[in-house]
Amino acid sequence: MSEPLLRLEGVFTDIEQYHILQGVDVAVPAGEVTMLLGRNGAGKTTTLRTIMGLWRARQGRILLDGRDIAALPTPVIARAGVALVPENMGVFSDLSVEENMVLAAVSGPLDRARLDWIFSVFPPLKTFWKLPAGNLSGGQKQMLSVARAVCEERKLYLIDEPSKGLAPAIVGTLVKALKDLKAAGATILLVEQNFSMARALGDHVAVMDDGRIVWTGAMATLAADPALQEKLMGLSMEGGHG
């Protein structure tokens, strides 16, 4: 197997006095979708934020294309081609949809062809192009957040629970968009609680618990093995507080 695009080796992250990540090892192969599953508080969001440099790893290496990015500032990691769709969507509500998109296109003006594709998968963004993003509904904000990430070609997309709190119809829209993205050869690390969405998109799975990776394997293996699913998904679902 060739060297993956992203590899975490023994990553430890503390938030204040709490040890959240306790030696995470995970590989994200290029051109495929890796699902990060696990119960609430297992450290999935912290993993994404640590990759992005929003939280600092105390120990361990984060290799992007073989280069250790663990100590780089967040903007440098972003410019190296990593895009984040955060859990809270991170939409700038004071800015218009257009301004949000313009800001996300760091390397130049918005690409017309990509924009047409974005409008075709997320029509509301076209409708409300000039309006403040704060007036969008929750699902539309999520579309904008994803659209911001995909408005330029990136090496790696980090997407944190896009389906959270959204209506099924909107989840369907998002799944379609991410499938398009996958078909175009994108590398995605996706945190998801919704197993049907995970199954629809994922090639690989890494399951987290207590700040560590406890299982990795192919999505197909997991989908075909109800006992394993029960074991891991039980793990995924148990203690679903919050």
Question: Does the protein bind other proteins through residue 124 (CB under 8 A)?
Answer: yes
* Selected range binding other proteins among 60-68, 133-141, 183-191, 223-231, rule: CB under 8 A: 133-141
Q: Which is nearer to other proteins, 196 or 218 (CB)?
A: 196
Question: Are 82 and 88 contacting, i.e. CB atoms less than 8 angstroms apart?
Answer: no
Q: State in angstroms the smallest separation of the CB of 74 from other proteins.
A: 4
102: contact with other proteins by CB under 8 A? yes
By the rule CB under 8 A, 52 interacts with other proteins: yes
Q: Does position 140 bind other proteins by CB under 8 A?
A: yes
DSSP string computed for the chain: -PPPSEEEEEEEEEETTEEEEEEEEEEE-TTSEEEEEE-TTSSHHHHHHHHHTSS-EEEEEEEETTEE-TTS-HHHHHHTTEEEE-TT----TTSBHHHHHHHH-TTSSPPHHHHHHHHHH-HHHHHTTTSBGGGS-HHHHHHHHHHHHHTS--SEEEEE-TTTT--HHHHHHHHHHHHHHHHTT-EEEEE-S-HHHHHHH-SEEEEEETTEEEEEEEHHHHHH-HHHHHHHHHHHHTT---
**Near other proteins by CB under 8 A: residue from 170, 208, 222, 235:** 170
Among 14, 99, 203, 210, which residue sits at the site for other proteins (rule: CB under 8 A)? Answer: 99
Residue 109, judged by CB atoms within 10 A of its CB (0-12, 13-18, 19+), counts as: exposed
Q: Does 106 bind other proteins (CB under 8 A)?
A: yes
| Nearer to other proteins (CB atom), residue 82 or residue 213 | 82
Rounded distance, CA 124 to CA 128, Å? Answer: 6
Query: Taking CB under 8 A as the rule, does residue 175 contact other proteins?
Result: yes
CB of 64 to other proteins, least distance (A): 14
Pick out residues in 58-97 that bind other proteins (CB under 8 A): 73-75, 78-79, 84, 86, 88, 90, 92-95
- The token pair at 194 is 């919704």
Minimum gap (Å) between residue 214 Cβ and other proteins: 28
Question: Which of residues 60 and 122 has its CB atom nearest to other proteins in the complex?
Answer: 122
Of the pair 136, 205, the CB lying nearest other proteins is at 136
Number of residues binding to other proteins, judged by CB under 8 A: 42
The pairing of beta strand 212-218 with beta strand 204-209 = antiparallel
Residues in touch with other proteins (CB under 8 A): 52, 54, 73-75, 78-79, 84, 86, 88, 90, 92-95, 99-100, 102-104, 106, 122-124, 127-128, 131, 134-137, 139-140, 143, 148, 167, 169-170, 172-173, 175-176
